[in-house]
């Protein structure tokens, strides 16, 4: 097995290098390379001469600070592919925001060079990044209105904290958080606090308006009355059997003429 000392140095005749004398990057002539730095790790050392001021000095170069990777941004059923430039040492993690992106992008998947997935990795270890637009954390809300509960959803910026006892903006008003469902349990004590992306559900009661079914929601309505209704017999309730009326027995009819048969009352 050959050692780095025995390997041939890369054949580099010229390069653009920072010149200590000129104070800027200028074309240089490579005079000698250090055989111990063979370039396999991205590091090259040696001696070079500036072609502008003829100043000779040692140099050392490393891998570029920025690298280019493939970025795939999903938008519903479609996706968009583009090139992404990142610092080589940038730390990437699934579920976190992609650094340096405006508007923010949230990482959904990281693919290494060998095709395997990584929950987190340095940018230099990643080949492709899948991401989505970071539109904030969507929290399911249960709004308690008297005897019924109305479900809804509210979107919060990532990092927003929700707290039991605090107010929360809702469509049509505001409400007070009475409980939070997070970390597989329900939290009800005032002051219990979690980030919005940790909350599975928030239970809220209206504060800007009374809940349905409360007495302060009811209004007394005057029943229309008139002189005719004052003198008329009150209408009976549907549930009332009404007033019993005794009907007279049908009178017998005569066989001829159809006149009513007047029966004499007993003397």
pLDDT in tens, the chain (267 residues): 444 444 444 555 888 888 888 888 889 999 988 877 655 566 788 899 999 999 999 988 877 678 889 999 988 778 899 999 888 888 999 988 888 887 788 899 999 988 899 999 988 899 999 998 877 788 999 998 878 889 998 888 877 899 999 998 888 788 999 999 999 999 999 999 999 988 999 999 987 555 555 544 444 454 555 555 455 555 554 444 455 556 666 655 555 554 444 454 454
The Cα–Cα gap between 85 and 75 comes to 21
Instruction: Please tell me the pTM assigned to this model.
Output: 0.41
H helices of the chain, where?
Answer: 227-231
The answer as to CATH 2.20.25 being correct for domain 14-61 is yes
Going through 134-259 in order, the beta strands assigned E by DSSP cover: 137-145, 148-156, 161-163, 167-170, 173-182, 185-187, 193-195, 199-206
């Amino acid at each position: 097995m050959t050692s780095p000392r025995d390997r041939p140095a890369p054949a580099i005749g010229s390069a653009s290098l920072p010149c200590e004398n000129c104070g800027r990057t200028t074309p240089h002539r490579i005079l000698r390379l250090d055989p111990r730095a063979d370039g396999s790790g991205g590091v090259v050392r040696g001696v070079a001469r500036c072609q502008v001021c003829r100043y000779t000095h040692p140099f050392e170069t490393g891998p570029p600070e920025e690298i280019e990777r493939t970025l795939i941004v999903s938008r519903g059923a479609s996706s968009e592919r583009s090139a992404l430039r990142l610092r080589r040492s940038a730390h990437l993690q699934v579920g976190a925001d992609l650094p340096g992106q405006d508007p923010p992008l949230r990482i959904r998947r990281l693919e290494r060079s060998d095709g395997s997935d990584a929950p987190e990795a340095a940018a230099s270890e990643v080949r492709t990044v899948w991401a989505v637009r970071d539109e904030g954390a969507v929290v399911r809300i249960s709004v308690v209105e008297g005897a019924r509960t109305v479900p809804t959803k509210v979107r919060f910026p990532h990092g927003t904290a929700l707290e039991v006892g605090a107010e929360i903006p809702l469509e049509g008003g505001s409400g007070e958080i009475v409980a939070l469902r997070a970390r597989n349990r329900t939290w009800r004590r005032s002051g219990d606090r979690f980030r919005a992306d940790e909350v599975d559900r928030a239970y809220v009661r209206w504060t800007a308006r009374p809940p349905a079914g409360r007495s302060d929601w009811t209004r007394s309505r005057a029943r229309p009355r008139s002189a005719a209704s004052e003198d008329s017999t009150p209408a009976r309730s549907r549930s009332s059997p009404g007033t019993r009326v005794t009907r007279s027995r049908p009178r017998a009819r005569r066989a001829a003429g159809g006149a009513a048969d007047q029966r004499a009352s007993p003397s």
